[in-house]
Structure 1
């Protein structure tokens, strides 16, 4: 193979034009890269030398010294020229003289693009005319040559060379060049003077004519309001001294005479703090010449976040302002905030002393009761002077307070009468010399509003209809933040016009209907315990006898609701009304008919439960009849040759068995809950009969002892035992014999449950037959009554006919 360092003159012209163009393009990019890199390096040296020379030449002038002597500038110029020549010789001429053989360029391309797979360098090397001594197939070479030409479409020339060094040099040259350009635009005379002096074309000195005056320090006014547009406060130096609060960020202001003096391009502040820190900062020129003066400001270090006292000097051109003293004084600090609270009168005990009910130090998240009188006691590290306080309430209202404090006076106090809204408090303390804190102190007091009472009313053993002589058992839960003042339950007849109005507005919810409570209503006061629970009874018969209620007749409607009030007296009274129960007044016969319909619905529920229990029994019996397979142990699995498919089938069958057992357990639980619900419903039905005074001994015996109590015994007895047996089956599934034995017991227990439920159902069917007989009797009575009424009307008509 040819030496990679050989020239390109020996390359074969039979190389594909696309490959030749690719190699030549890469060679051109490399040489362009060399030129750009060398030029950037030379420019960087020249610009760096320019700025370094400018600093060395003009810096001493700013410090009150002299310019660089010509010999020093000549030395700098020689160093720069030597460095430029060295860079040009090494980075430009030396690199451009190096040959770039085709196979080296091809190898570089192969390294960057491995997808070429060596085809490019093979084609370049084997296509040379002077290539001898190689043994290769011409057809294979042509194929490699063709594939290389086809694959160059994937080559991205921009990825071959790394431009990171170029970018690094450009990042150095660009700021320097930009600064030089800005310098040229801003001050062409100064730029030309600097260039001519550094190139030894001129020895003209820098101008020195400036007159500076100290103006003072501007401090932003710290206020407790949220107004950020307040003007700053100018504090002048007195006898070259000034006092500023620590932590402040002031602006040092000077001015330079402009009429018969030269305005400095830049003014520099030199400072020396008491802790030994030294430094300097350039001042910023602001605005134009006004009244013959140019203003300069320093709004950064060392006055930004002042922490130490210091001595400052300002220099501009050949003028200077020396030994101005800035004293850093600690600002006033609020060390403690005490909160004294006096609760509103309705929350205080009678005869309590007229003093604070709560005293505490302020802490984040402090919340006070609505209507309290609040006193904030501010304690600071130094005596306070005219300070500023702003109260901003949640309602958007703001109040500004000014206070005056004496050296020997009590701590500053902020009084908030009738605290109703959450309040944000901003305080800016100032000492007797006017030094203020550099940020307002913020406090926030939340409010605990007195909420309305919560009332819940429940009528135990009462449905949607009652008889005119019913008893209404009341169960009330009334809760309030600070206790219930009054609680009563009211029964009021709904007048006919009210009933029509409510029926014409069906969109109103029950608790949105506000029935009128008039003199014909009956109310019962209720006392509650510590948990807010209270019980009582309203007897409609006694209320009608006492005259508190008019005599109720079937067809009327009554409303029952509870009302609670607390002791709140700061505004509208807090009164809460519970959900309104609307009860229809019916005859005892009508009520019994309604209850009989409920019995019929319960019988349907029981029949459904019986069917589900029968299905449960059938499932258990099916599992018992099929039997349970013994789960294979690890030893059995090792000693047998059961296939993986058979093992999977056994595992799947075992999972199906477990799933069915779990389903039977869920069904048993459901049956238990359903039977318990039926028993509870029957108990409510009996209570409703008792409360409506339509009960009888034999009815209680038929429903209670014949249906309700047996259901409860079934749930507590065989059904509970059945659930435990099902759990035992699931637990012993791995033991086939034990699982089969448990399943047999469960089937027997399920049979027992079915027998007992069937007996209860037959009892309910007997009750249904009895109720049907009662319905027939009631219908005969009604028919007889209607016949008697018709007979009386006919007799009356005949008597009237005799007088015609």
Structure 2
């Protein structure tokens, strides 16, 4: 009865129930804090370890920004996934209700879970109106469970070692970056910039490569289809200060350094890897020219490519090798104004590539036109100072100067777009010396001796570079002047002007004029010497220049003396003609027999040689006839006799029967074919040739006989005239003596 009276009331049960729930709620909060601490510690450790690993990899491998971003993304994704899984599990653990939490505690304190369940659930049975359980038993069970929970240490049940480990892990995860930032602030800052900010700032290096000759866009411009020599330096030649930092050029894109290396290390070798436009790979090693210079020669190519460099702990690239065309001269326009020209305007030269020759003091205007926009143009003149080049437009330059001497121009163009220089172009401008006229004078039809009444055909030919103005002949005649003491020889000069048409618009550059000089109007004395000189004046702008021919000297002789000289020459030709006739007669027996092909060839050669000699004899005999006519030697009858009896038959013989005979002999020898060719016909033609040659020889003999008769008659006449003159002189002397006073 006393036990029943000691049972707790429903209010006390509710109080115990609330107290237990409060204890469980505090335990749940502690559990949540523990789980949060563990999650944070795990995140700190994972991030610190991953960061350390990434920094180590970056320091060792010098990762590029894309690789860093990929690794960072993957690392964060793995860490986030791992932490997400852990967080989900802990979140589920932190949301346990009272009974689930009691079950969890029951694993560490057996029976504790049932006791918590009794306290939390049994009092609710008392509120049911029709309960099948005994209220007393419920109160007793709840009191016993409450007393058991009060005696248990479940409220202080906690894995403090686990909490400590996670706390230490959290401290370590936070301490690693802190210590790294304190111990190596530069490395920590650089790591943060590279991994978090995505900077391309590099880790400190011992070697820095610099490509010389890159343009503002970081390209290596190379002439198309030409070799190019690239130079790489390792002594930081293109370093410049930018505030508290240093910029290293010659790398495609500038490399920013916070501190300039004092002593860069020289690499043992520099490797190059080139990728062509067709994705072909070429690898090579650069040649060390001195400790800080390396060189590599790219082969000729028409397409662009790219290359990468590796040397020591440095690398760079890809850098584009842009193949472009060099600038070149699209046109060279030349205008010139020569001194003394009637046209005040400049004259354009159609082909500037031709051999350029201009007069001294000519004004030259040279226009250079490039194939593309030009930044500058350079021109050197050898020898002398170069004139100033003035820009006309973006592609053209002009220069003007006065030509004093022959020069060679050296032209160099620079592209405004690429900065490439053109290949050196050369242009030579020569000095055209306006030479004096070239004059030749000759006498045709006469020899070195003429008679006092001769007609001398003079032919003067003159040539000049820019035009002839005057043409004349200077005739000098030596005259013997009788002085008191002794005779002296005096030279009398006369000028023979040869007019010709002069057109300023079309100057005469070459002229040939014939002038027949007759001595009969003023016959010189026998023994006089005639000297003729051809002269020509030109139209030189710097002053008239006179050109002279060589002196043509002729001696005046008597008609008898010249006739005798001509006769001697004719007799010499007659002797040659007789030799040809004898050679032709020697071929008669050969043709009369049965000649072989070799005999016919030998006869043909003899005939050919004889024909050539006859042509020469004909020409020389005709020349003597012309000389006789010009010097008025002999009568027209004698001239006609020589012309019709010797000259014309000789010409008819060489062009008629002799030519036919040679053709027939050639046919019979088998070298050609002709209708009607036979040995009998050849024999008849040969006989005809020999007969005509004998007739001509007879005419020559008659001519000489005629000349002898004429000369004898002339001598008789001269003797009679001489006797008559002496008789008249004697008569005059006797008459004078008769009338003279005797002393």
Compute the TM-score of the two structures, normalised by the length of structure 2: 0.56
Q: Spell out the pairing of 1:481-496 with structure 2 (5 A cutoff).
A: 481-494=465-478
Structure 1 residue 775: deviation in Å? Answer: 4.4
Query: CA separation of 1:267/1:553 partners in 2, compared to 1, >3 Å: closer, same or farther?
Result: same
Q: Which one has a bigger Cα radius of gyration?
A: 2
- The answer for the alignment partner of 2:446 in structure 1 is 462
- The answer for the alignment partner of 1:195 in structure 2 is none
Structure 1 residue 312: deviation in Å? Answer: 4.0
Q: Spell out the pairing of 1:368-767 with structure 2 (5 A cutoff).
A: 368-371=357-360, 372-392=362-382, 397-401=383-387, 403=389, 405=391, 408=393, 411-418=396-403, 421=406, 423-432=407-416, 435-437=419-421, 439-445=423-429, 450-494=434-478, 520-527=493-500, 532-540=511-519, 542=521, 552-570=524-542, 573-586=544-557, 590-620=558-588, 622-625=589-592, 627-628=593-594, 654-666=596-608, 668-670=610-612, 672-690=614-632, 695=633, 699-702=635-638, 704-717=639-652, 720-723=655-658, 724-725=660-661, 727-728=663-664, 731-732=667-668, 738-767=678-707
* Gapped regions of structure 2 (runs ≥ 5): 1-58, 64-202, 237-259, 482-489, 502-507
- The answer for the alignment partner of 1:296 in structure 2 is 292
Measured in 1, the distance between the counterparts of 2:733 and 2:403 equals: 76
Query: CA separation of 1:701/1:63 partners in 2, compared to 1, >3 Å: closer, same or farther?
Result: farther
- The answer for the alignment partner of 2:176 in structure 1 is none
Q: 8 Å contact 1:729–1:743 — kept in the other structure?
A: no
Measured in 2, the distance between the counterparts of 1:455 and 1:680 equals: 28
Q: 8 Å contact 2:274–2:283 — kept in the other structure?
A: yes
Measured in 2, the distance between the counterparts of 1:62 and 1:305 equals: 37
Structure 1 residue 424: deviation in Å? Answer: 3.2
Instruction: Determine if the alignment matches structure 1 residue 251 to structure 2 residue 231.
Output: yes
Q: Greater shift after overlay, 427-436 or 788-797? A: 788-797
Query: CA separation of 1:660/1:384 partners in 2, compared to 1, >3 Å: closer, same or farther?
Result: closer
- SS of 2:421 mapped into structure 1: coil
Instruction: Determine if the alignment matches structure 1 residue 354 to structure 2 residue 345.
Output: yes
Query: CA separation of 1:541/1:758 partners in 2, compared to 1, >3 Å: closer, same or farther?
Result: closer
Measured in 1, the distance between the counterparts of 2:358 and 2:230 equals: 43
Structure 1 residue 654: deviation in Å? Answer: 0.8
Structure 1 residue 441: deviation in Å? Answer: 2.8
1:334 corresponds to which of 328, 343, 349 = 328
Q: 8 Å contact 1:679–1:709 — kept in the other structure?
A: no
Query: CA separation of 1:731/1:611 partners in 2, compared to 1, >3 Å: closer, same or farther?
Result: same
Query: CA separation of 1:552/1:216 partners in 2, compared to 1, >3 Å: closer, same or farther?
Result: same
Structure 1 residue 576: deviation in Å? Answer: 2.5
- The answer for the alignment partner of 1:241 in structure 2 is 218
Task: Say what the alpha-carbon RMSD is for the aligned residues.
Answer: 4.8
2:314 corresponds to which of 317, 320, 329 = 320
Structure 1 residue 680: deviation in Å? Answer: 0.9
Query: CA separation of 1:708/1:368 partners in 2, compared to 1, >3 Å: closer, same or farther?
Result: same
Query: CA separation of 1:799/1:579 partners in 2, compared to 1, >3 Å: closer, same or farther?
Result: farther
- The answer for the alignment partner of 2:82 in structure 1 is none
TM-superposition CA deviations, 1:424-444 (whole Å, max 9, x none): 332221244782315323344
Structure 1 residue 701: deviation in Å? Answer: 0.9
Q: Greater shift after overlay, 457-466 or 721-730? A: 721-730
Query: CA separation of 1:658/1:359 partners in 2, compared to 1, >3 Å: closer, same or farther?
Result: closer
Q: 8 Å contact 2:327–2:420 — kept in the other structure?
A: no
Q: 8 Å contact 2:405–2:431 — kept in the other structure?
A: yes
TM-superposition CA deviations, 1:631-667 (whole Å, max 9, x none): xxxxxxxxxxxxxxxxxxxxxx613421343144225
- The answer for the alignment partner of 1:190 in structure 2 is none
Measured in 1, the distance between the counterparts of 2:677 and 2:233 equals: 102
Query: CA separation of 1:726/1:718 partners in 2, compared to 1, >3 Å: closer, same or farther?
Result: same
Query: CA separation of 1:609/1:776 partners in 2, compared to 1, >3 Å: closer, same or farther?
Result: same
Measured in 2, the distance between the counterparts of 1:683 and 1:453 equals: 35
Measured in 1, the distance between the counterparts of 2:680 and 2:693 equals: 20
Q: Spell out the pairing of 1:111-126 with structure 2 (5 A cutoff).
A: none
Measured in 1, the distance between the counterparts of 2:730 and 2:394 equals: 101
Query: CA separation of 1:740/1:412 partners in 2, compared to 1, >3 Å: closer, same or farther?
Result: same
* Gapped regions of structure 1 (runs ≥ 5): 1-60, 66-207, 220-234, 288-294, 498-515, 545-550, 629-652
Measured in 2, the distance between the counterparts of 1:671 and 1:260 equals: 100
Instruction: Determine if the alignment matches structure 1 residue 367 to structure 2 residue 353.
Output: no
Query: CA separation of 1:415/1:521 partners in 2, compared to 1, >3 Å: closer, same or farther?
Result: same
- SS of 1:486 mapped into structure 2: strand
Measured in 2, the distance between the counterparts of 1:790 and 1:385 equals: 110
Structure 1 residue 756: deviation in Å? Answer: 4.2
Q: 8 Å contact 1:668–1:719 — kept in the other structure?
A: no
- SS of 1:400 mapped into structure 2: coil
Count residues in correspondence.
Answer: 500
Structure 1 residue 535: deviation in Å? Answer: 1.7
Query: CA separation of 1:297/1:281 partners in 2, compared to 1, >3 Å: closer, same or farther?
Result: farther
TM-superposition CA deviations, 1:75-111 (whole Å, max 9, x none): xxxxxxxxxxxxxxxxxxxxxxxxxxxxxxxxxxxxx
Q: 8 Å contact 2:211–2:230 — kept in the other structure?
A: no
Measured in 2, the distance between the counterparts of 1:733 and 1:216 equals: 86
Structure 1 residue 562: deviation in Å? Answer: 0.8
Measured in 1, the distance between the counterparts of 2:408 and 2:60 equals: 52
